[in-house]
Amino acid sequence: MGEFWEVFQRHLPEFRSGFYITCRLVAMSFVIAMGVGTIIAAFRVAPARALQRIGTVYVEFFRNIPLLVLIFIFFFGFPEVFNIGPWVAGTLALGLYTSAYIAETLRSGVFAVGKGQIDASLSLGFTYRQTLQKVVLPQSFRTVIPPLGNLIIAMIKNSAILGASALAIPDLLKTGRITAALTANAHASFFWAALGYLILTVTATFIVRHLEKRLAIRR
C-alpha cells in the first residue's frame, strides 16, 4: 500500500492537472454532443424529407466509424485543411461521435410523446417548430434521461481514447502513462488514473439519477 500512496503524493500535481483536463475534455464534448445531437434529432423528425435525410446520413456516418479513426481524421486529416489544434480536433471527434447516439436516443424519445400532445399543441396555433421546442422535445428529454446518462458515462470513458492516441492532450490516462514511465510503477499509476475516471462516472451517475427524479413526468 505504501508505494501506491507514495506515487500519489509525489505526482499529485500531475494527476490533479490530468483530472482537470479530462473534466474539460468531457465538458466541451458534452456541450457539442448535446447541442449537435438535439439539432440532428430535430432534423430526423422534421416534416421536410431533405432534413430527415441529412439527419440520417449524419447519424450513420458518425455511428459507423470507429472513434479512434474519427480522432485520427480530425487530428491528422483536418489540420492539413483547417487550422485546428488538438483540443478542437479531440473534442469535436468525441462530441460529434457521441452526438450521433444522442440524436438517436432523443429521436426515440420523440416517438414516445403521444400524437395527442402534438394535436393539442398545434390546436393552440403553435408552428411545428414551437411544438417541437415547447412541447415535444422537453418531454422527450425527460423520458430519455436514463439512456442519455449511459451515453454520457460512455463518453467520459471514451475520452481516455483521446489521451491514448497521439494527441498532445495530457489527460488523466496520459498522466498515468507518464507517471508509470517515470516511477516504473504501472499498477499504482494506472490505479490512480482509474480512480479519477471512477470519480467522474460515479458523479455523473448521481447527477443523472437526481435529474431523473426531479424532472420525471408524472403520468
Partner 1 sequence: MVFKYTPAPMGGSSSNGNLVEFDHVKKAFGANVVLDDINLDIRNGEAIVIAGPSGSGKSTMLRCINGLETIDSGDLRFDGRSVAKAGKGIYQLRANMGMVFQSFNLFPHKTVLDNITLGPTEVKGLSEQEAKERATSLLERVGIPEKADSYPADLSGGQQQRVAIARALAMEPKLMLFDEPTSALDPEMIREVLDVMRDLAKSGMTMVVVTHEMGFAREVCDRIVFIDEGKIVEEGPPDEFFTNAQSQRAKDFVDKILHH
Cell 436516443 maps to which residue?
A: 105
Cβ atoms within 10 A of the Cβ of 87, count?
16
Cβ nearer to partner 1, comparing 124 with 202: 124
E-strand ranges in 33-111 read: none
**x/- string (CB under 8 A) for partner 1, residues 112-141?**
--x-xx-xxxxxxxxx--x---xx--xx--
| Whole-number Cα distances in Å, 122 to 43, 119, 129, 136 | 19, 5, 10, 11
Cβ atoms within 10 A of the Cβ of 77, count?
12
Cβ nearer to partner 1, comparing 26 with 41: 41
Cβ nearer to partner 1, comparing 143 with 175: 143
**x/- string (CB under 8 A) for partner 1, residues 21-60?**
----------------------------------------
CB < 8 Å & 24+ apart, contacts of 64-72: 65/97, 67/93, 67/94, 67/97, 67/158, 67/161, 68/161, 68/165, 70/96, 70/97, 71/161, 71/162, 71/165, 71/167, 72/165
Identify whether the C-beta of residue 93 lies closer than 8 Å to the C-beta of residue 131. no
Contact status: 146 vs partner 1 (CB under 8 A): no
Cβ nearer to partner 1, comparing 91 with 140: 140
E-strand ranges in the chain read: none
Minimal distance, residue 117 CB to partner 1, in Å: 6
Minimal distance, residue 112 CB to partner 1, in Å: 12
Q: Can you tell me which of 23, 72, 142, 190 binds partner 1, judged by CB under 8 A?
A: 142
Number of residues that bind partner 1 (CB under 8 A): 22
Minimal distance, residue 11 CB to partner 1, in Å: 47
Minimal distance, residue 47 CB to partner 1, in Å: 13
Radius of gyration of the chain (CA): 20
Contact residues: partner 1, CB under 8 A: 114, 116-117, 119-127, 130, 134-135, 138-139, 142, 215, 217-219
